[in-house]
Structure 1
Amino acid sequence: MNARIASAPISWGVIEVPDWGVQLDRERVLSEMVSLGISATEFGPEGFLPDAPAERAAVLAEAGLQAVGGFFPVVLHKTAEPGAPGDPLPIIERELEAYVAAGAGTMVLSAVTGEDGYDGVAELTEPEWAALFANLDRALDAAAAVGVVATLHPHLGTVVESPEAVARVIAGSRIGLCLDTGHYTLGGGDPVDFVERYSDRIVHAHLKDVSLEVAARVRAGDVGYREGVRQGMYQALGSGDARIGEIVSALRRSGYDGWYVLEQDTVVENEEDAARALENARRSVAFIRSAVEAEPESAAVPA
């Protein structure tokens, strides 16, 4: 079962958002992952691993890590016309070359607004929704053509964050979903309900535990997303309010056979923060191993 447990560099504070915090070097991050017994990882943001597909594959192989795939933010709602300015498919297809080279199987798309960070709110027009759905299906087909599964990550501060937006994607596109237990909570949803409603569409899972107290301040706009993370919005798995054990049990009952990725946004500003990130990752890995290896409840998840 451990082969299905992976991590992501964001759990060490490595992120695509400018001015987030100290960006630890990849040698340290990858070696600390391996020290925890992790055998697979997502790619991390642009620049963390080499851009050249063969070099990216070589770095992971040298570290002793399998490539899962990665979180790929891209603007998907502007146009679906092939070759038009803003067409996202060429960017997606170029990134897929690295997935093929590294043997990675999952592209986790995030439908970003085009602005830096995750504090904005976007309301799409009906033509923009139509472009989003079309591009999600185009990305799904382009990935499938090279043996990769494309999935959409509902995410705070993107064009798909709320339960209502997720329902529109389910109805309007063929793409599968990445369940992110933290971001779906921040978007106003219940991750256990997410599994019960959409078990047949979940193809990837990002596990975050959440302090609902801090999350409420972020949702209310009292503090920004980064500040909420810095204040402890995400806790070591099993230490917060997100019912991670119940979620994993529900996924297993549903027949989910994808990755369980420890992917908890962290702000690292100094060496003390870096040490705390490593300890939280250690505790989280132990928790998720126990949860994944436990016997699932026998009751089936409703369709």
Structure 2
Amino acid sequence: MKRIGGAPITWGVDPSPGWGHVISAERYLSELTKCGLSATELGPDGFLPADDLSDFLEEYGARVVAGFVPVVLYHRDIASEALVYTERAAGQLAATGSNVIVVGPDSDQAGYDKPVALDESEWTVFFENLARFDEIAADHGLTTAVHPHWGMAVEGQESVDRVARSSDVGFCLDTGHLHLAGVDPVEFVRSFSDRVAHVHLKDVDGAMGERVRTRQVPFRQAVIEGVFRPLGAGEVDIGGVVKALEEAGYDGWYVLEQDTSLQTEPEPGEGPLVDVEHSMRYLEKV
């Protein structure tokens, strides 16, 4: 199986307060390529160097294929600033030769533990700003992909259907987040195969996933405790998703995105590298 990339969050890279230890970009790219991967997502703002990024990536034989941009789109005052960030991220992605920008439909609340339910006026503002986001993306030669995400404004089936009806943007299919929200990712492919512009592959521990779903444990704590598993070690039908996508003619990237939290710097040869190697062995059989 080809067209497989990695993501900094798989190595625990998330600068959010309390998330955990963040490794260097140099170690991330070194281990990424050691796993046989040559493609990456951009990661959080500032993780990979903005200056001379292409030269930096070339040292590791890597390229950027997409970037996750979390923005609040349903509040006019917040969205204006968010779209400035979008412009900057889109420019950086375009400069690396990437062709996808993933929008994380963020909320204005801390964390990911309270359901987000937009009212009609907020949905109106959301779609106005999503259209502006898409215009910025198009101006930079990028395809927009909305990422249904646990604890964000687009999460489960109802909000996914609303985005599908009310806009023509693409989707980033994240197997783990859809599964947490009660959406079968295989059925998602069958319903929206022509809208899938990017894919995040992650597996979910069944027992821990249910605790997240029923709000018994905060999302970030669940990540620390290993709610996301190497591919094939959880309960998501990863093979079925890949098969459905390939049969539908999907020709984009599959990004291994196993959200991880590190408490300390892993010893050489240990840490996220081990899980990624497990996932790669699984995909060899798909």
**Structure 1 residues 271 and 98, CA, compared in 2 at 3 Å: closer, same or farther?**
closer
Whole-Å separation in 2 of the counterparts to 1:85 and 1:211: 35
Structure 2: stretches of 5+ with no match in the other structure: none
Partner of 1:137: 131
TM-score (normalised: structure 2): 0.94
1:239 match: secondary structure:
coil
1:4-52 per-position Cα deviation (integer Å, ceiling 9, x unaligned)? 11000111100142211111111111100010110100011112112x3
User: Contact (CA 8 Å) 1:154, 1:166: kept in 2 or not?
Assistant: yes
Partner of 1:8: 7
Partner of 2:278: 283
1:127-177 per-position Cα deviation (integer Å, ceiling 9, x unaligned)? 110111122222222212221111100000111101111000001111100
User: Contact (CA 8 Å) 1:140, 1:151: kept in 2 or not?
Assistant: no
Give % identity: 43
Q: 1:77 aligns with which of 68, 74, 77?
A: 74
1:229 match: secondary structure:
helix
User: Contact (CA 8 Å) 2:186, 2:244: kept in 1 or not?
Assistant: yes
Partner of 1:147: 141
1:104-144 per-position Cα deviation (integer Å, ceiling 9, x unaligned)? 11111101113343223222121110111122222222212
Note the 1:49-128 alignment, pairs <5 A.
Answer: 49-50=48-49, 52=50, 54-79=51-76, 86-87=79-80, 88-128=82-122
Residues 1:48 and 2:60 aligned together: no
Partner of 2:263: 269
Paired amino acid for 1:229: V
2:85 match: secondary structure:
helix
Out of 146-155 and 86-95, give the one that drifted further. Answer: 86-95
Whole-Å separation in 2 of the counterparts to 1:277 and 1:29: 10
Partner of 1:176: 170
Whole-Å separation in 1 of the counterparts to 2:273 and 2:78: 42
Whole-Å separation in 1 of the counterparts to 2:98 and 2:58: 12
Task: Kindly report the root-mean-square deviation, in angstroms, between the aligned alpha carbons of the 2 structures.
Answer: 1.7
2:198 match: secondary structure:
strand
Post-superposition shift, 1:272? 5.3
- Looking at both structures, which has the greater relative contact order when contacts are Cα pairs under 8 Å and sequence separation is at least 6? 2
Structure 1: stretches of 5+ with no match in the other structure: 292-303
**Structure 1 residues 119 and 16, CA, compared in 2 at 3 Å: closer, same or farther?**
farther
Partner of 2:245: 251
**Structure 1 residues 16 and 128, CA, compared in 2 at 3 Å: closer, same or farther?**
farther
Whole-Å separation in 2 of the counterparts to 1:98 and 1:208: 26
**Structure 1 residues 58 and 116, CA, compared in 2 at 3 Å: closer, same or farther?**
farther
TM-score (normalised: structure 1): 0.89
Whole-Å separation in 2 of the counterparts to 1:193 and 1:256: 15
2:133 match: secondary structure:
helix
User: Contact (CA 8 Å) 1:134, 1:173: kept in 2 or not?
Assistant: no
Paired amino acid for 1:58: D
1:257-287 per-position Cα deviation (integer Å, ceiling 9, x unaligned)? 1100001101111345982311001111222
